[in-house]
Amino acid sequence: MSAIQYLTSSNPTSVIATTHIPYVPPNAPESYVKNVDRRVEATLSMPSDITATLMVDHRLPPIYGFIPQLPKVGVTVEGELGSVSMYNYVLPTWYHSITVKINGSATRVEKVYKSTAGKLMGKDDKSWTTYRYQLEAFVDKVRGREPAVWMSKEESVSVMQGIEMVYEKVRKSSSNRELSMIGVATDWTRVKTEKQIRCTLIDASGSDASRRASRHFGVKFELFNHTSSSLLLTV
């Protein structure tokens, strides 16, 4: 959210859509409260007809089903003449890349490990992490100097307000979630001695769907397996 507001020099006016998947640990008890995010995706409407999308996922699917993925932190800005993408802007000291694509021209990749202009030119070092830059700015501020970059308290509040707008949209979407039962067979298929029924979920959320199905059929359902578009429940 902070990167979006910084790059657009504006705050979101509304949240167009959200996708939210809570984290549920293996073998979680029925009393488990899903108050930790696993994945959140949101599309934001910004001033000047700009649309921004953010996505955070703490459990990316493994490559080939078993190779864990490394964390991915990046931002892409698309314009009329092309796009600019920066990979790993959080810890660029370790590794980063700035990919510039101009329509009709060759793509180039750049790297910047120390300041080439501004107040920090000649002062910083390629070993500095983002946290060192933050510390330098803090020291400059408390000593009465003008930091090279400074985030005001108003900007900090606006970032939290933007995040809260996303959560408000998530809460409204959750309260309006519906479960649609499709093609309920008269004879149940028995797999691994468990009776199963296949359902289609309007907005995927496994345990919520289980509770709704329980109320609909008057029996207790337990989540067996689910994907973003379908749900397999056992009774």
Residue 175's pLDDT is 57
Phi and psi at 231, nearest 5°, equal -140, 130
**Rounded mean pLDDT of 84-90?**
93
Residue 172 pLDDT class (50, 70, 90 cuts): confident
pTM of model > 0.85: no
Higher pLDDT, 129 or 211: 129
Class of domain 2-113+153-175: alpha beta
Question: Coil, strand or helix: which one is 38?
Answer: strand
Residue 3 CA from chain centroid, whole number: 13
Residue 107's pLDDT is 94
| CA angle (121 as vertex; 116, 125 as ends), nearest 5 | 90
All CATH 3.30.360.10 domain ranges in the chain, comma separated = 2-113+153-175
CA distances from 8 to 4, 5, 42, 51, 191 (A): 6, 5, 16, 10, 53
| CA angle (96 as vertex; 166, 66 as ends), nearest 5 | 70
Model confidence at 229: pLDDT above 60: no
Model confidence at 199: pLDDT above 50: no
Which single residue is written with the structure tokens 């700015």? 137
**Rounded mean pLDDT of 18-41?**
90
- Identify each DSSP E strand in the chain by its residue range: 14-22, 37-46, 50-57, 74-78, 82-87, 97-102, 108-110, 179-180, 189-191, 194-201, 222-226, 230-234
